Amino acid sequence: MYLGLDCGTSGLKALLTDERGAPVASAQRAYSPDRPRPGWSEQDPDVWAAAMAGAIADIKNSDGRALGALKAIGFSGQMHGAVLLDRAIKPVRPAILHNDARAHREARELASDHPELAGIVGVKPMPGFTGPKLKWIARQEPDNRRRTAWVLSPKDYLRLKLGGELATDMSDAAGTWLLDEAARAWSTEAFLACEADPAWAPRLIEGSAPAGRIGPKAADEFGLPRGVALAAGGGDAAMGAIGLGLIAPGEAFISLGTATQLVVATDRYLAAPEKLVHSFAHALPNRWYAMAAMLNGAGALAFAGRLLGAPPETLEREAAADYHGPGSLLFLPYLSGERTPLDDPYARGVLFGLSETTSRADVARAVMEGVALTLADARDCLAAAGASIERVGLTGGGAKSALWTRMIAAATGFTVVRMQGGETGPAYGAARLARMAATGEPPEIVCRLPEIADVTAPDPKLAAMFAAERERFKALYGAVKEEFRR
């Protein structure tokens, strides 16, 4: 058996698979980011550790016999989170997350003072990346900087809690703004530009390689067999591709989780920072990927649910009833600012066109449409960088929605493929890396395509409606952009 753990922004997923890759048991524990100030987003790393312990306990309770045959654990996680540890390997402060915008000044300074670094580290500096956050820490929290001995990504903290090494993989390192992407090595120049100590950098390991074994104490504490191998793992974008088996050059997928990514695999480093494309090392050796990253996705529907007093599943069901296409209501989903294509940490959500006849279902539809329209922007950015995409897999919690799938196909022109278990893509990818770390099998053997659940081609009538809606969408952002900065 192989266990995949995915440390997301809003919860931790655990998936147990057998030697053929078939899912055996799964569990999920929810949590939420802390927002101590507007534009800030943090989490206590030990919240993730507690969720990991709970999810493993849930699987043990449901199928303890299968868990007893565990051979390896793989890890996936939200990218760009800054987990600062002291010399005692304890968190110095809450982790600063990917959707935190506090380092916007530092990001602007890095862009103006070190323009050459974007082509090396794979992307233009933006507030959500680890490097600008470390620059912010140096200036705003000098005591915490002095206490810092290591900087990890979120999933690396979970592996460390199980007894693994102080290490990270290439794909999570790629999202720090501190990695030389082409060389797959830390960039001393980027560390120094971010007022960070290169000695904080953990050891780099390919995602499919072992990064230690579970410690006896942790094995007993978590109720796991002793000697289980711990794979290095990867960032959630790369792990989604591995879970879907979309690892060959040109193969692409959309991850519709709390945030949204459009990812296409490449066999070389493809730098295009001027297009706000993220060009990163993959979690598999000798592979890279290009990505358009949006800070808002299925989390926007969850936000609407909190305001409207209904869970996202209820809103989605109401929205899908008698859906005929975009109406007069328009939603900008920039609740946490936006990366691709705007690079605007000040951007915020806007609901435009309310009337006395507006229903809860109308609001839900507008929110879902707004997220789909951001993927049309993402498509154009990747196309300008040289990536040609016609067909995409769909993963993440939003992949459960047939309506959202139709909207995305219409907005982007992509044929959208949903696969069995697609909503657990990163956790499944983590389980696949666990298998490779334990057996040494090549990716082509392990990373096969899951069974297809359905294929959605763009509906021409709906696509025309989304094309018209996109013009309104872009115009609305242009009209209110400066107001966000007041």
Q: Which residue in the list 156, 172, 236, 377 is annotated as catalytic?
A: 236
Phi, psi of 112 (to 5 degrees): -85, -35
Is 172 designated active site? no
DSSP-assigned letter for residue 310: S
Nearest Cα neighbor of 259 from 223, 312, 296 is: 296
Instruction: List the structure tokens of 350.
Output: 């806007």
DSSP-assigned letter for residue 283: S
* 3-state helix/strand/coil string of the chain: CEEEEEECCCEEEEEEECCCCCEEEEEEEECCCECCCCCCCEECHHHHHHHHHHHHHHHHHHHHHHHCCCCEEEEEECCCCEEEECCCCCECCCEECCCCCCCHHHHHHHHHHCHHHHHHHCCCCCCCCHHHHHHHHHHHCHHHHHHCCEEECHHHHHHHHCCCCCEEEHHHHHCCCCEECCCCEECHHHHHHCCCCHHHCCEEECCCCEEEECCHHHHHHHCCCCCCEEECCEEHHHHHHHHHCCCCCCCEEEEECCCEEEEEEECCCCCCHHHCCEEEECCCCCCEEEEEEECCCHHHHHHHHHHHCCCHHHHHHHHHCCCCCCCCCEEEECECEECCCCCECCCCEEEECCCCCCCHHHHHHHHHHHHHHHHHHHHHHHHHCCCCCCEEEEECHHHHCHHHHHHHHHHHCCEEEEECCHHHHHHHHHHHHHHHHHHCCCHHHHCCCCCEEEEECCCHHHHHHHHHHHHHHHHHHHHHHHHHHC
Are 304 and 367 in contact by the 8 Å Cβ rule? The answer is yes
DSSP-assigned letter for residue 117: G
Distance between alpha carbon 216 and the CA centroid of its chain, in Å? 31
Element spanning 431, H or E: helix 425-439
C-alpha span between 417 and 263 (Å, rounded): 14
Are 265 and 289 in contact by the 8 Å Cβ rule? The answer is yes
Residues annotated as catalytic (active site), given as ranges: 236
